[in-house]
Amino acid sequence: MKGSYAFPGASVQTSQAPSGSANTISLNPLSVVRILAGNLSISLGTPAAMSYLIICSTATLVAALTLFSGFGLGMVLMPMFAIFFPVEIAVAATAVVHLANNLFKLTLVGKNADLKVVARFALTAALFAAIGAFILEYFSGLEPIVVYTLMGRDCTITPPKLVIACLITIFAFLELSRRFDRLAFDPRFLPLGGALSGFFGGLSGHQGALRSAFLIRAGLDRDGFIGTSVVSAVVVDLSRLIVYGVSFFSRHFSLAQTEGLGGLILAGTVAAFLGSFVGSRMVKKVTMRAVRQIVGGMLLLLAVALGAGLI
């Protein structure tokens, strides 16, 4: 006589032994793991407890550490989303969190922005952010480049993954380079800086490092630099989110509904708010050089994993 008992994510098969003997229960190893894990899956597109932990902890920590540097949240958070979702959705989801966090920062430091500098920088940034977003949309519609199996797992290298992995690698090396700390451009190049920053912001979400490099010599004091950076970031986020909304979110609306993307974005946004609030009080106690080295190292590892199709 046989029967089965249902556990979350697993089943247990029982068999009736001959008369006078005890019943036997057989569990395959996968069932044991699923029972012990409580059916906490972190497979692609299935944000469970682990995905919330990763996204929220990353958003809180990075938002706290990068409030005054002007960049870092999108650069680090996007690969975290890419662990659980297609890379184009990861870029779009990060943009939502990035915009919400920047709107929050706008209430804190936006009054210090130099609107003349914002106009020279952010107008071209908004235009090229839309162009970069459209190019990402084009890449997302292409067929995978390579599909292979590694240790029993299917790995896929797609054009968006490869392009964004290359960009992450470049910006990771910039994070690790001491020369980039001193990189600055003449104020007459502000429109060009806006175009470059906006383009990469729309394509991969990596806008802040270039934005800071061009604004740092715009004749702004510390508060003016922070406020101008935040306002410019909001303009870029709004521009690229219009494109993402028309393309990725409309196409993957069911994903947001059925697989928890909306909840994960909301949780990441609240976590980023918390990080910015804490950072406004504690960031001066942090050695930013050490933080940037850690971030750069992590980005290199994530770029390799993304480019190889492992995530």
SS3 70: coil
Q: How far apart are CA 272 and CA 223, in angstroms?
A: 21
- The tokens of 274 are what? 């918390």
Query: Has residue 252 got a pLDDT over 70?
Result: no
Q: What are phi and psi of 43, to 5 degrees?
A: -65, 165
- Comparing C-alpha atoms, which of 76, 49, 58, 71 is closest to residue 269? 58
- Comparing C-alpha atoms, which of 245, 223, 165, 233 is closest to residue 198? 233
pTM here is 0.67
Q: How far apart are CA 247 and CA 89, in angstroms?
A: 10
Give the pLDDT mean for 36-60: 63
Give the pLDDT mean for 22-43: 39
Query: Do 47 and 84 meet the contact criterion of CB atoms below 8 Å apart?
Result: yes
Give the pLDDT mean for 267-278: 86
What is the pLDDT, as a whole number, of residue 225? 86
Amino acid letter for position 110 = G
pLDDT digits (tens, 9 = 90+) for 155-206: 888 888 888 888 878 877 876 777 766 666 778 889 999 999 999 888 888 7
Lowest-pLDDT range, 30-34, 98-102, 174-178?
A: 30-34
Query: Has residue 22 got a pLDDT over 80?
Result: no
Give the pLDDT mean for 22-51: 45
pLDDT digits (tens, 9 = 90+) for 132-152: 999 988 888 888 888 888 877
